[in-house]
Each structure stands twice: as C-alpha cells, then as structure tokens.
Amino acid sequence: MGSDFTAVFGHKFKDYEDIVFFKKELDDSVHLKKLLVSLTGGNINAINHLKWKWGYTNGHFHSNAELTPGLFVTLMFDNRYKLIIGKCLCEFSCLIGWLAFLEDDSIQKALRKICLELSKYLGNPVYLPDSYSYTDYVYEGSCIHDVLQSLKKKYGLPNLNIASMYDEQGTSWESKGYYIDLFND
C-alpha cells in the first residue's frame, strides 16, 4: 500500500460479466467521474470522454470466466485512480497521499464521497494504515473477513473515527489501526 490513500472493499462479483457490468456502471456515473476529476484538479468539462480503462489482468479472463483465487483485474481512471479486483476483494487506491487524507478535511471528505459511490456496488470501505499492505489478500483471493481478522489480530478493534488513525509524534507521524466507514455521519 505505501503512502498513497488505499481502501479495501469486499464484493460479490462472480465472473467476467459482473465486472464488465461494474465497469459500465462506473463509466456511466457522471457523479462519480465529477468527484474523481474535481479532487485532482482535472478538467470537469472533459468527463464525458473519460472512461475506466482495463489495466493489467493476470491469467486468461474472458466472457464466462469465473473469478478464482489468484485471478485479478485492474481498472484505471485518469491515470490517478486504480481498482484491483480479486475473487472477493477490491482495492481502491489513488495518487493522493495517506497523510493528506488524514490531515486535510476537504480531501478526506472528497475521498469518502468517492468511496460512498463505490460502496453502492461493493461493500463498505476499510481504510488501512499506510504501513501495512493488503494487496496480496486481493491477489490471493481472500475475502473481507480474512482482512478484518488480520487487522483485528494486528491492531485490535477498528478505530471509532478516521481522526484516531493519525498519531503525531513530534517531528514525525504514524497512522495506526484501521477504520470501517459506515457513512453514518
């Protein structure tokens, strides 16, 4: 995961057709595209021409193919946003720093709006600490339950809010724990 913003979602996609449908829904969502483009200062008038692009797919993934452990698909938007979709998990990341998400209310609000839009097709997002990568869970075909069990073992219960993930330590900082966004605020 590194220092970029990352959220992990569970999903119920079963096969290629489900992901093609998901991509079409993302491409058709003017609201989501406006959120994505405005966050990175892009040209809002060009959103009709922007589409999610197929990125790397390991293995042979085609019509009627089922999602199986080890198979994943990548979708990219505007070279700034990436969705990696595995058997049961989806990782969303972007070129906005984790620290900016934790410290800047406007960035946090914008990324949460994007995650809210994505959660309409996926499960609720889990915001992960910047020091721990869960991409392997996506690649290996793990489920959101596996991620939550691992997080609980390492960090205990989820944080009660995003602000509690930020731990200032004099001249440095650290993010700690994880947060499951239920969008109750």
Residue that has been written with the tokens 């797919």 in this structure: 57
Measured between alpha carbons, how far is 108 from 184 in angstroms, rounded to an integer? 15
Supply the pLDDT for residue 26. Answer: 93
Report the largest interatomic distance among the alpha carbons of the chain, rounded to a whole angstrom. 54
Pairwise CA distance, residues 84 & 94, whole Å: 12
pLDDT band at 88 (very low <50, low <70, confident <90, very high): very high
pLDDT tens-digit map of 14-24: 888 898 899 99
Q: Which of 120, 110, 124 is nearest to 28 (CA)?
A: 120
Nearest-angstrom CA–CA distance, 94 and 125: 14
- Residues 113 and 111: their CA atoms lie apart, in Å, by 5
The stretch 15-41 carries a mean pLDDT of 89
Q: Which residue has the tokens 């959220």?
A: 7
Closest residue by Cα to residue 144 from 114, 180, 177: 180
Average pLDDT, the chain: 86
For the chain, the domains span: 4-180
Rounded average pLDDT over 110-133: 90
Cβ atoms within 10 A of the Cβ of 154, count? 11
Report the percentage of the chain scoring pLDDT > 70: 90
Q: How far is Cα 91 from Cα 103, in angstroms, rounded to an integer?
A: 22
Round to the nearest angstrom and report the end-to-end CA distance of the chain: 27
